[in-house]
Amino acid sequence: MTESLTITREFAATPAAVFALWTDPGKFATWFGTDAIPVPAETLSYDAAPGNTWTAVMHLPDGSTKDWVGEFIEVTPTSRFVMTLTDEPENPARATVTAVLTETPTGTELSMTQAGAPMSDEMVAGLTMGYNAFFDTMEKILAAD
């Protein structure tokens, strides 16, 4: 069991552009769902400011939905974004996701850590696959901007 997962990815974009992926509701809904799973705008409540809560509903390919909730902890423009999240809204336990952005000569390095409850190797593998799909979608959004 491990307590956290960190994934690092470099994007050919400014820190401001990468930061907007985390704070702009439309961009967040696009990458959080990826290309395969819509998060309709009408199901998203997302005002990225410390102390605010957020909600989203993913519409899964099998026709079911997944409800997400969390809270914004830290929003430091272009450098750091911290939020909690869970897909079990009735459970008070939340994972904490921290995104640290660092400018590089070719763009921005994103170091994202999810911490909270202990995770099995199987959970870590699933989260790694999911976050890499999110980051792939982020790259598409940045390329289109």
- Asked if residue 71 lies in contact with residue 51, where contact means CB atoms within 8 angstroms, the answer is yes
* CA dist., res. 136 & res. 21, Å (int): 12
pLDDT of residue 134: 95
The torsion region of residue 122 among left (phi > 0), alpha (psi -120 to 50) and beta comes to: alpha
Q: Which residues pair with 59 in a beta bridge?
A: 65
pLDDT of residue 21: 98
pLDDT of residue 108: 98
DSSP 82-128: EEEEBS-TTS---EEEEEEEEEETTEEEEEEEEEEEEE-HHHHHHHH
pLDDT of residue 114: 96
* CA dist., res. 130 & res. 34, Å (int): 9
pLDDT of residue 1: 82
pLDDT of residue 119: 87
pLDDT of residue 117: 76
Burial 69-88 (b: 16+ CB within 10 A, else e): bbebbebeeeebbbbbbbee
CATH of the domain spanning 2-144: 3.30.530.20
Q: Which residues of the chain fall short of a pLDDT of 50? A: none
